[in-house]
């Protein structure tokens, strides 16, 4: 894959796109990055490569598209087997990793969005639920450095993009994620020491500064 044509259609604040950026970096795959400003007109290439959902991220490998971020991460893992795997060989452990990645997908984004997009009781409820989700993930992490033990793996890649949004969530919600979930924050700081993560995630303050623009364009103001 490293010697073939690889294109990533992405939007810089997308935690889902960050998964692919990290995965490609971990596997040392060179690619062409194409920015998609989704709140404006979607490009013909995006509409061609993801005609069903019409959203990013989209991985394009030799003209063929792979959509949905966790599916694309698995694809990257499968086509570059000469590098350390993201998913374990054991079927049960592999199923567990997919379970937690699915849990992250179903919980994190919507709750985080409600924290910065709403106020009052709705925001307070979202904050409470968000903290509970992080505590569940802390239980899955335990005292391990990464979700894969000593190895940075599929679940880590699935979750790490949200880390650069923590400052936004905490600031808009007026709470401390580190005070509530210290193990997850320590995990995020540990992940940020990896070049693949540090070079793939935007600065947390840049994300925070973008949110007012996002709120206005989405009609939340």
The CATH number that applies at residue 16 is 3.40.30.10
Please write the tens of the pLDDT for every residue from 165-216: 999 999 999 999 999 999 999 999 999 999 999 999 999 999 999 999 988 8
Residue 221 has a pLDDT of 66
Q: Share the mean pLDDT of the chain.
A: 95
d(CA 190, CA 185): 9
Residue 40 has a pLDDT of 74
Q: For residue 93, which of 153, 26, 17, 40 has the smallest C-alpha distance?
A: 153
Residues 133 and 113 in one domain: yes
Please write the tens of the pLDDT for every residue from 9-37: 999 999 999 999 999 999 999 999 999 98
- Displacement of CA 72 from its chain's centroid (Å): 12
Residues 98 and 197 in one domain: yes
Find the domain containing 106 and state its range. Answer: 91-218
Residues of the chain with pLDDT > 70, as a percent, come to 98
- Residue 218 or 48, more confident: 48
Residues 209 and 147 in one domain: yes
- Displacement of CA 66 from its chain's centroid (Å): 16
d(CA 133, CA 107): 7
């Amino acid at each position: 894959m490293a010697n073939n044509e690889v294109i990533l259609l992405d939007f810089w604040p997308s935690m889902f796109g960050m998964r692919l950026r990290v995965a490609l970096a971990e596997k040392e795959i060179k690619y062409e990055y194409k920015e998609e400003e989704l709140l404006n007109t979607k490009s013909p290439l995006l509409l061609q490569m993801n005609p069903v959902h019409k959203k990013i991220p989209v991985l394009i490998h030799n003209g063929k598209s792979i959509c949905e971020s966790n599916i694309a991460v698995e694809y990257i893992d499968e086509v570059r087997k000469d590098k350390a795997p993201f998913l374990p060989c054991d079927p049960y452990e592999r199923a567990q990793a997919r379970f937690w990645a699915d849990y992250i997908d179903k919980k994190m984004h919507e709750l985080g969005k409600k924290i910065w997009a709403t106020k009052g009781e709705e925001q307070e409820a979202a904050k409470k639920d968000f903290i509970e989700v992080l505590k569940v993930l802390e239980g899955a992490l335990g005292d391990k450095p990464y979700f894969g033990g000593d190895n940075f793996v599929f679940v880590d890649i699935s979750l790490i993009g949200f880390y650069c949004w923590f400052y936004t969530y905490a600031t808009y919600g007026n709470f401390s994620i580190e005070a509530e979930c210290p193990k997850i924050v320590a995990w995020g700081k540990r992940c940020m020491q990896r070049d693949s993560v540090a070079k793939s995630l935007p600065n947390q303050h840049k994300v925070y500064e973008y949110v007012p623009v996002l709120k206005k364009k989405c009609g939340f103001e």
